[in-house]
Amino acid sequence: ILLHHHCPNHFTILKTHSSFHKFNLFHPPKRSRSIMAVAASGINLTPLSKADDNFHRPTELKAFDDTKAGVKGLVDANITEIPRIFYHPPEEVDSAETHIHIPLIDLEGVGDDSLKRKHIIDQIRDASEELGFFQLINHGIPTSVLEEIRDSVRRFHEQDTEVKKQYYTRDFMKPFIYNSNFDLYSAPTTNWRDTFSYVSAPNPPNPQELPEICSFILDLLLTSVFRRDIMVDFSKWVMEIGKLVLELLSEALGLNPNYLDNIGCSDGLAFVYHYYPPCPQPKLTIGISEHSDTDFITVLLQDLVGGLQIRHQNKWIDVRPVAGALVVNIGDLMQLITNDRFESVNHRVLSSHEGPRISVAGVFSTMVSPSDKFYGPIKELLSKEKPAIYRETTVKDFSVQFKSDGLGTSTLKHYKLNHADV
């Protein structure tokens, strides 16, 4: 472990090869500063401890949004307590016993060994029915690509704020979107994270529309820099993995391997890049509020900081980071078309003194550019004993309902048929 003398809050964990990870630990400045006192930095928000009858949440949300500096801007201003808009009441839900783990599935041999493939399919079926989450190793994406994409996220969020601001927007039709909390003005709690996103399929962005800083790569000796479209590269890998997962899920349902792909489950792919800065009061806020994903499947790359949890039997279970692994979870639309065979479960991300936490989510859905194609429970899965639980819907209507409900509210409940339990 090396301490950076020019920045004592940074240290580097060296590995036995050329890659490395950087983490920050939140260390409050020696002199306490109230958030109201850092208005010169463009931030003028009420600290949590300040009793103020004049507190007006919409006004403070606008003040935070107008900085275009995100949560990282607050941390850079050396705050010692969170603003009131970020307060998230602690939940009275216990963490699960440590013996409950998210399944770790080894994909080695999935394409050329029928016995291994059957075993993998059985594992994926069990995980999708019971927990809605599993992790994959030996998935084929080189470790160097995983490290490069995480580094690109870090570079973007840690570049000069004035440069970064040019990408800040709430116009979700733009090819590249950077902001903090997509639902800032509608959510009851502001989450401790910043995000950028873009749509990769069906209409990928022009590489020139993506920030150049995300495409720089240092060579192994750290002596030169060259450009490569890392995000475009990574999206191709994730699409390949997503199609494989959809094959395995199809077979797990007793369907043709291409079934889910043929009905359009891989037609849309968007990427969401989250950056969670270290937090001075992590127990009093949240990285991402409890929610379920509205897509078919999500393929997630997380770093080693941790914090992702799923709700299972009213307990929170840690999705423990595994170096090089990808996390896959079932989305609401997959639960709908499988008629509750596969489960889309609620999950959240905790804040931490340690950070930044970086994650990259590949979201398989045409939610951003929805079509009028109808999706309902797969007919091959229905019978007199197992009638349809949901009515048909389009991804477009599902998307509108989700945006109306907001993060943390079940969209599926609106599509339950009368005979089904709501």
Q: What is the pLDDT of residues 84-129, one digit of tens each?
A: 999 998 876 556 555 688 999 999 999 999 999 999 999 999 999 9
Question: How far apart are the C-alpha atoms of 161 and 226, rounded to whole Å?
Answer: 23
**Sheet arrangement for strand 354-355:** 2-3, 10-14, 20-25, 354-355
What percent of the chain lies above the pLDDT cut of 70?
82
Q: Is residue 333 classed exposed, middle or buried when 0-12, 13-18 and 19+ CB atoms within 10 A define those classes?
A: buried
Question: How many residues would you count in the chain?
Answer: 422
Query: Residue 356, preceding bond cis, omega within 30 degrees?
Result: yes
> Residue 225: its pLDDT value, please?
57
Average pLDDT over residues 382-396: 95
- Answer yes or no: is pLDDT of 35 > 50: no
> Residue 409: its pLDDT value, please?
72
Question: How far apart are the C-alpha atoms of 200 and 175, rounded to whole Å?
Answer: 10
Q: How far is CA 124 from CA 130, 137, 337, 388, 390, in A?
A: 10, 13, 17, 23, 23
- Three-state secondary structure of the chain: CEECCCCCCEEEEECCCCCEEEEEECCCCCCCCCHHHHHHHCCCCCECCCCCCCCCHHHHHHHHHHHCCHHHHHHHCCCCCCEHHHCCCCCCCCECCCCCCCCEEECCCCCCCHHHHHHHHHHHHHHHHHCCEEEEECCCCCHHHHHHHHHHHHHHHHCCHHHHHHHECCCCCCCCEEECCCCCCCCCCCCCCEEEEEEEECCCCCHHHCCHHHHEEECCCCCCEEECCHHHHHHHHHHHHHHHHHHHHHHHCCCCCCHHHHCCCCCCEEEEEEEECCCCCHHHCCCEEEECCCCCEEEEEECCCCCEEEEECCEEEECCCCCCCEEEEECHHHHHHCCCCCCCCCEEECCCCEECEEEEEEEECCCCCCCCCEECCCHHHCCCCCCCCECCEEHHHHHHHHHHHCCCCCCHHHHECCCCCC
Instruction: Enumerate residues 6+ apart whose C-beta is below 8 A from 240.
Output: 140
Query: Is 0.85 topped by the overall pTM?
Result: yes
Ordered by where they begin, the domains of the chain are 102-415 (2.60.120.330)
- Is the CB of residue 307 less than 8 Å from the CB of residue 234? no
> Residue 295: its pLDDT value, please?
95
- Is the CB of residue 167 less than 8 Å from the CB of residue 387? no
- Is the CB of residue 280 less than 8 Å from the CB of residue 28? yes
Average pLDDT over residues 168-197: 95
> Residue 91: its pLDDT value, please?
77
Q: What is the distance in angstroms between the CA of the first residue and the CA of the last residue of the chain?
A: 52
> Residue 361: its pLDDT value, please?
98
Q: How confident is the model at residue 224 (pLDDT cuts 50, 70, 90)?
A: low
Question: How far apart are the C-alpha atoms of 140 and 44, rounded to whole Å?
Answer: 47
- Is the CB of residue 44 less than 8 Å from the CB of residue 63? yes
